[in-house]
Amino acid sequence: MSIYYIYQDHDRCIGCYACEVHCKTKNELPVGPRLCRIIETDIKLIGGLPRQRFVFMPCFHCEDPWCVKACPTGAMQKRSKDGIVFVEQSLCVGCKSCITACPWGVPQWNPETGKVVKCDYCKDRVDQGLKPACVTKCTTKALKFVSADEASKLKRERFVKDTYASLY
Amino acid sequence: MKNSVFSNCGMCSVRCPIRVEVEDGRVKWIEGNPYVPGMEGSLCARGSAGIALLYDSERLQYPMIRTGERGSGQFKRVSWEEAFKYVADKVKDIQAKYGKRTVALLDRGAGLFGEMQRLIVRGMGSPNYFSHDDFCRKNVDLAYQTLLGYGRPEVGYDFANTKHMVFYGRNAIEALGVREVNNIVKALENGADLTYLDVRVSKTATKATRFYQIRPGTDYAFNLALIHVILKENLYDKDFVDKFFDGTVELENFVKNCTPEWAEKETGIPAYEIVNLAKALSAAKPRVILYPGWFSARYMDAFYFARSVIILNALLGSIEQKGGLILAKTPKEVGAKGLNSLLEKIPAPEEKRVEAEAGKGFLYDGAGHILHLYRAIKKGEPYPVKALFVVRYDPFAGITLKDIKEVLDGLDLLVAIDTNYSATAWYADVILPESTYLERDDMIGLQRGAKPAFIMRRQAIKPIYDTKGKWEITKGLLHAYGVGQYMPFETIEELWNYQLEGTGVKIEDFDKSGQVALCKDAKMYSRDELKFKTPSGKVEILSSKMAEREVPFFYEHQTPAKPNIEEGEFRLVFGRMAVHTHVQTHNNRYLNEIVPENELWINDKAAAKLGIKNGDWVEVSSGDFSGKIRAKVTPFIHPEAVFMYRGFENEVPWKTRSFGKGLNEGRLLSGAFDKMAHGSHTGALFENFVRVKKA
């Protein structure tokens, strides 16, 4: 897994799909490939109130990525310095093996280039000390670009805040 | 070469402050203005998709004059000079026949930069300026004016510091403004309550701490009961009421019989919930916000409903209060000089606007009533309006085909000024294409609030096509008409300098962040200093404005008609989503990719009786129109209502991505032109039943 992680604060997320468009404009993508997705759950009544979640699905940048192993040309690579998984466009032959291999459907087909394109956490921005487009411009700052250990810290804090508030 | 420009978004009318990055003449990145609290880089989906609008070939590219029948889509390209001259000559011909006042202009509303287009109609000597507000916020506007003497844009909401907010079908999470939604989320994070009433579970409902699925058309009854409980159980802010209320006794008398038990029968919301809410609001007072709505042209009682919301705020003492409603301060109130007006330099026409001749019994203000305008066009009453300019608003996308035909039949000239291939442009005689917000400069605007600021929209790149900014279009029209003296500016800088003269602010002061605040700290009045802008200086329950216009102070709730659900009859309600702006963005390739078409929300039990399953095609009809749409069968909508997200199925073939996708709710609003809300004469667009059957 890359040293980075995108943490989604579900209480802040409003399901506005801005992250998807921030990504598409930054990467100048045609209609078709969507490098991150918001997937809506069904509305459910929880404690008498309607609730819905908007789940953010980028690439998880696995430690041992299926897509990299499946790629016959070496186009799909993992950066040694930070573990970001990306496609070297000049090497991609459009065989779609990575699309088959990824359990989460992350690699996307670009019909304009006939190659695969995927979330690379906006590595050009990361290299400039910036954050990925989806995080930088998230409407409600529900997405946070953090290290993996920071993410588990945030998750624990959120769990306690949500779960134990009623005990006081 | 790389440069960065501070400007204002133009993808919806919130006009969020933005920063635009340009590289070698191409816009590469748009983000929320990092210097503005609540923005700090954030932008919604539409804001980012501005790049897709800019580089879209499916938008207006050059001036055009119609050559075929209206609605045939046949136009010829002309030069700007030719277009200006054609329009000016036509207007003069028509005015020679029907008088100066026969020209009208209809826009989306004044907004930050909206003074500009008003110059066109006043410059041509007519009083007939109209905005779309009658199909939107006008009831709230008039309610504020009658009660507080302030207009709606002069009242802000301090969501960030509130303890309890109440929204009535105001779907703030989806019909979103970046700053507003961030403040709402912040309040929720700090433990604030969000009470939400709607006929369906919108995304706002999924964030609410209390949710009531109210019977459509009964929000007003709910509020009357709330007022009843708050007065009866002494839950109000006594200090505020004693100081500022004019008409408490009359109000108390009016709501005497509006008990929670009565309201339960009307609304379907248990009486104890209404009592509990009244108590919770009282406990949180004065840091409460009951939001009177944005789109308020829903029901016939909409004006009185909006008044009831503001009265509730006043009873709870939330006006001019941290965590409540905050009144905007004029530049003068904060010790600054305001912008110089362009409009005031043009003599006001002596003739009266169309509805000024329609007698009393309704209110009016700075912009005319759209339904009166349509009556004047269709029937020539009280006098004919034969030439119409429509500016950055698309009325034809939201009304029935029959109404479009009748309006067109009444007009000798229809001019559309827009950036989009709008439905109105499709039927227009002349199309004047405006540059997108990324390609144009606008006049400086006043951002109202407790800390007023001047704000500037600046061109990020030169226009890609043969389009012009609004100030240039206005200038061209006024010069061709022969009144160029009203727009004597050669460059936008000359215009800005005229606006700024005497304010002490210079153009370069906008370089740093795109705006210039007129004071250091937000100015708030203490209760001792506070004085409302009504003639009495009080919260006028017995409004002098209403008395003068012979509008009754109170209006009794009427039980709404019940649709015959078994026969497939439902009340049609519609609304906005986060991904699209009204009828403007559905052809944007990135936004269209996410939501290309709409669905008809229908209650699961009602659908079962009609044999409709989730995902089925259904036929929806109203008057002589019917259209097809997919059904979304759900328990999360009231059985009497069907709902659709608005603005889909634009019939303009120029827009290939959105053409024919989904269903346009406007085509289903049969009879909408005949329903004028009580006291305000606005539209009442939810007073409409449609038929639904399996297709």
Distance from the B173 Cα atom to the nearest Cα atom in chain A, whole angstroms: 6
Output the DSSP codes for B356-408. GGS-SSS---SSB-HHHHHHHHHH--SS---EEEEES--GGGSS-HHHHHHHH
Q: From the CB of residue B117, how many other CB atoms can be counted at a distance below 10 Å?
A: 26
Q: Tell me: the pLDDT tens digits for A148-159?
A: 889 889 888 888
pLDDT at position B575 over 90: yes
CA A8 – CA B570 distance, rounded (Å): 39
Residue A87, pLDDT score: 98
Closest CA to B690 of B572, B566, B565, B562: B572
User: Which chain A residue is nearest to residue B172, measuring alpha carbons?
Assistant: A14
Distance from the B494 Cα atom to the nearest Cα atom in chain A, whole angstroms: 35
Q: Tell me: the pLDDT tens digits for B380-407?
A: 999 999 999 999 999 999 999 999 999 9
Cite the DSSP H helix spans in B233-369. Answer: 238-244, 248-254, 260-267, 271-284, 302-315
- CA distances from residue B617 to A108, B370, B538, B651, B689 in whole angstroms, order as listed: 31, 35, 55, 19, 19
How confident is residue A167, by pLDDT bands cut at 50, 70 and 90? low
Residue type, B387: A
Q: In this complex, do A15 and B589 lie within 8 Å of one another by their Cβ atoms? A: no
First to last CA, chain A: 38
SS (H, E, C) B47-97: HHCHHHHHCCCCCCCCCEEECCCCCCCCEEECCHHHHHHHHHHHHHHHHHH
pLDDT at position B465 over 60: yes
Residue A165, pLDDT score: 65
Strand partners, B311: none
User: Which chain B residue is nearest to residue A158, measuring alpha carbons?
Assistant: B189
Backbone angles phi, psi at B606, to 5 degrees: -65, -40
CA A23 – CA B277 distance, rounded (Å): 42
Q: Tell me: the pLDDT tens digits for B348-382?
A: 999 999 998 888 999 988 889 999 999 999 999 99
Residue type, B398: G
User: Residue range B644-650: average pLDDT?
Assistant: 93
Pairing of strands B539-540, B625-634: unpaired
User: Residue range A20-26: average pLDDT?
Assistant: 98
CA B296 – CA B686 distance, rounded (Å): 10
Residue B347, pLDDT score: 96
Q: In this complex, do B211 and A50 lie within 8 Å of one another by their Cβ atoms? A: yes
Q: In this complex, do A20 and B30 lie within 8 Å of one another by their Cβ atoms? A: no
Sequence-separated (6 or more) residues with CB below 8 Å from residue B614: B631, B632, B633, B634
Check if the beta carbon of residue A129 is closer than 8 Å to that of residue A102.
no
User: Residue range B164-190: average pLDDT?
Assistant: 97
CA A14 – CA A20 distance, rounded (Å): 13
Taking the mean position of all CA atoms in its chain, how far away is CA B98? 32
Residue B161, pLDDT score: 98
Q: In this complex, do B32 and A34 lie within 8 Å of one another by their Cβ atoms? A: no
Check if the beta carbon of residue B161 is closer than 8 Å to that of residue B284.
no
Q: In this complex, do A21 and B45 lie within 8 Å of one another by their Cβ atoms? A: yes
Q: Which residues of B touch A12 (CB under 8 A)?
A: 185, 189
Check if the beta carbon of residue A45 is closer than 8 Å to that of residue A51.
yes
Which candidate from B31, B206, B591 shows the least CB-CB separation from A50? Answer: B206
User: Which chain B residue is nearest to residue A38, measuring alpha carbons?
Assistant: B594
DSSP state of B236: S
Q: Tell me: the pLDDT tens digits for B234-248?
A: 999 999 999 999 999
The helix/strand count (H/E) of chain A reads as 6, 10
Full-prediction pTM beyond 0.95?
A: yes
Output the DSSP codes for A1-41. --SEEEEE-TTT-----HHHHHHHHHTT--SS--SSEEEEP
ipTM greater than cut 0.90: yes
Q: Is B467 left (phi over 0), alpha (psi -120 to 50) or beta?
A: beta
Residue A148, pLDDT score: 87
CA B105 – CA B121 distance, rounded (Å): 6
Residue B252, helix vs strand vs coil: helix
User: Which chain A residue is nearest to residue B182, measuring alpha carbons?
Assistant: A140
pLDDT at position B330 over 70: yes
Q: What percent of chain B has pLDDT over 70?
A: 100
Q: From the CB of residue B209, how many other CB atoms can be counted at a distance below 10 Å?
A: 15
User: Which chain A residue is nearest to residue B183, measuring alpha carbons?
Assistant: A140
How confident is residue B259, by pLDDT bands cut at 50, 70 and 90? very high
Q: What percent of chain A has pLDDT over 70?
A: 97
Q: Which residues of A touch B29 (CB under 8 A)?
A: 25-26
Q: Vertex B383, ends B382 and B388: CA angle to 5°?
A: 120
Q: What percent of chain B has pLDDT over 90?
A: 97
Q: Which residues of B touch A31 (CB under 8 A)?
A: 589-590, 592-593
Between A147-161, B126-140, B177-191, B442-456, the lowest mean confidence (pLDDT) is in A147-161
Check if the beta carbon of residue B448 is closer than 8 Å to that of residue B470.
no
CA B552 – CA B362 distance, rounded (Å): 9
Q: For chain A, which domains are there?
A: 4-163 (3.30.70.20)
Q: From the CB of residue B603, how many other CB atoms can be counted at a distance below 10 Å?
A: 23
Residue B358, pLDDT score: 85
pLDDT at position B111 over 80: no
Check if the beta carbon of residue B308 is closer than 8 Å to that of residue B220.
yes
CA B5 – CA B30 distance, rounded (Å): 10
How confident is residue B1, by pLDDT bands cut at 50, 70 and 90? confident
Burial, B491: exposed, middle or buried (Cβ in 10 Å; 0-12, 13-18, 19+)? exposed
B interface mutation test: which of A8, A12, A21, A166 has the most B CBs within 10 A?
A21
DSSP state of B580: -
Q: Tell me: the pLDDT tens digits for B9-19?
A: 999 999 999 99
Q: From the CB of residue A114, how many other CB atoms can be counted at a distance below 10 Å?
A: 10
Residue A168, pLDDT score: 56
Interface size A-B, in CB pairs within 8 Å, comes to 105
Residue A157, pLDDT score: 87
Q: Vertex B121, ends B675 and B71: CA angle to 5°?
A: 60
Q: Tell me: the pLDDT tens digits for B36-90?
A: 999 999 999 999 999 999 999 999 999 999 999 999 999 999 999 999 999 999 9
How confident is residue A1, by pLDDT bands cut at 50, 70 and 90? low
How does the average pLDDT of chain A come out, rounded? 95
Q: In this complex, do B578 and A16 lie within 8 Å of one another by their Cβ atoms? A: yes
Distance from the A58 Cα atom to the nearest Cα atom in chain B, whole angstroms: 16
Which candidate from A15, A25, A43 shows the least CB-CB separation from B48? Answer: A25
How confident is residue A164, by pLDDT bands cut at 50, 70 and 90? confident
Distance from the A142 Cα atom to the nearest Cα atom in chain B, whole angstroms: 10
pLDDT at position B652 over 90: yes
User: Which chain A residue is nearest to residue B592, measuring alpha carbons?
Assistant: A31
Q: Which residue has the higher pLDDT, B359 or B486?
A: B486
Taking the mean position of all CA atoms in its chain, how far away is CA B442? 20
Q: Which residues of A touch B44 (CB under 8 A)?
A: 16, 18, 139
User: Which chain B residue is nearest to residue A141, measuring alpha carbons?
Assistant: B42
pLDDT at position B521 over 80: yes
Which candidate from A18, A26, A49 shows the least CB-CB separation from B208? Answer: A49
Q: Tell me: the pLDDT tens digits for B84-101?
A: 999 999 999 999 999 999
Q: Is B185 left (phi over 0), alpha (psi -120 to 50) or beta?
A: alpha
CA B592 – CA B658 distance, rounded (Å): 7
Closest CA to A115 of A133, A93, A130, A136: A93
